[in-house]
Structure 1
Amino acid sequence: MNNFKFEKTFSILTTEQLVEKVKSNMDERRFQHCIRVSEECKKLAKLNGYYDIYKAQVAGFIHDYAKQISVDRFIKIIKEQDFDLDLLNYNRVIWHGIVGAYFIQHELKINDDEILTAVRRHTTADVEMSLLDKIVFVADYIEPGRDFEGVEEARKVAYDNLDEGVGYELAHTLAYLVKQRSKIYPKTVLAYNKWSVINSKE
């Protein structure tokens, strides 16, 4: 961890301050996940010619900054900051991306729109996704600590074609949610229709 640093933090915080602030906001297991996602973002950024490796690393590192923030704090911000109140029908699985960007902006002092948008979309995906959005979304799913059934296939697909990786992840995530009879965020269904469906005119 002492060697974990960035060339740029996209914040007024130093690398050391940023790492410490993220670490203090989560348990060790989540923190190690964030490090692995950051490294996976670096790998995917290089594979796909993304223009700023450091931005990809930082976006991956902070993507789960708000994952363990209390439910009460999330609800307070959703109500006070005029977020869509439909969010209250969901939970931290959805909130930590969409609302988490608010905490990142105000607590980590990161105002880069590209990074914040990638954080917002990293759980739900979206119909329109930038290259950085896709990198963070996929890296979170295939980082080396993941060991679910099908993860090796997910990695192979993503390394061959990032868009296909997004589609693979969405298809398998929705299948899991349906199997669990879980509520599905509407934007994720729309993203599935954009990235996962194999269209046929027959």
Structure 2
Amino acid sequence: MEQKKALKIVEKQLTKKRYDHTVRVMETALDLAAHYELDTKKVELAAIFHDYAKYRNPEEMKRWIIEEKLPQDLLDYHPELWHGPVGSKMIEREIGIGDPEIQSAIYWHTTGKRNMSLFEQVIFIADYIEPGRDFPGVDEVREVVYKDIDQACWTAARNTIQFLMSKNQPIYPDTFQLYNEKLGRNMNGR
């Protein structure tokens, strides 16, 4: 699917602010994909559709979680986490994008997980560092992402965990697993 067509599809699903974010995520992901020698067309599609389900009604997303047999523990967490897993299924059913690599990157772009592929890491971190983001710790991640994407993912996970803890919010277990895995790599000096 061509970029223009994909952006037109996703624009209908998003607010203007979120659409602008999506364009910046796409541009950031394409830069990272070129740097890390990934398939830029696939990265482009994953970045464009990463927030496809972001503004769907929580009840609709809940139905998708149940009907698509997504992990039921998602229902124990804030609906904000649902749009990745649900979006990974919606793009297949509603748009016809069934590429497992694209779907997986969309699925994990919010929480991360252990053993993320380089492709998944690029979408995860592009969403985190796109130029419109401005929060404590984002510049630290931007500084290392082109040198060590594992370090960037660990730092992003650490920052997310610290932020959620400061707000007394629950943290999805896969984010802890990402943090622990990358911490082990960092401590062992890879």
Which of 128, 140, 152 pairs up with 2:127? 140
- State the AA in 1 paired with 2:156: E
Correspondence 1:168 to 2:150: no
* 1:129-180 Cα deviation digits (max 9, x unpaired): 1111010000001001111123222101112211111111011111111111
2:117 and 2:152 mapped to 1: Cα distance?
14
CA shift for structure 1 position 82: 2.0
Which of 104, 109, 125 pairs up with 2:91? 104
1:115 and 1:81 mapped to 2: Cα distance?
17
Q: TM-score, normalised by structure 2?
A: 0.92
Instruction: Give the aligned length.
Output: 187
Correspondence 1:90 to 2:50: no
Check conservation: 1:37, 1:61, Cα contact below 8 A.
Answer: yes
CA RMSD of aligned residues (A): 1.5
Alignment of 1:21-40 (within 5 A): 21-40=9-28
CA shift for structure 1 position 92: 2.6
1:91 and 1:104 mapped to 2: Cα distance?
21
2:33 aligns to what?
A: 45
Correspondence 1:129 to 2:120: no
CA shift for structure 1 position 26: 1.1
1:117 and 1:196 mapped to 2: Cα distance?
23
1:170 and 1:184 mapped to 2: Cα distance?
10
- Single out whichever of 41-50 and 76-85 deviates more from structure 2: 76-85
1:53 and 1:153 mapped to 2: Cα distance?
25
- Single out whichever of 150-159 and 169-178 deviates more from structure 2: 150-159
1:196 and 1:40 mapped to 2: Cα distance?
25
1:108 and 1:33 mapped to 2: Cα distance?
21
Alignment of 1:72-83 (within 5 A): 72-83=59-70
1:19 aligns to what?
A: 7
Alignment of 1:168-187 (within 5 A): 168-187=155-174
Higher helix proportion: 2
- Secondary structure, aligned partner of 2:82: helix
Check conservation: 2:6, 2:48, Cα contact below 8 A.
Answer: no
1:129 and 1:86 mapped to 2: Cα distance?
20
State the identity as a percent.
35
Structure 2 gaps, min length 5: none
2:18 and 2:9 mapped to 1: Cα distance?
13
1:171 and 1:150 mapped to 2: Cα distance?
10
* 1:76-130 Cα deviation digits (max 9, x unpaired): 1122222222211113321111122111111121011100000111111111111
1:114 and 1:83 mapped to 2: Cα distance?
17
Larger radius of gyration: 1
Correspondence 1:189 to 2:176: yes
Check conservation: 1:22, 1:62, Cα contact below 8 A.
Answer: yes
Structure 1 gaps, min length 5: 1-8
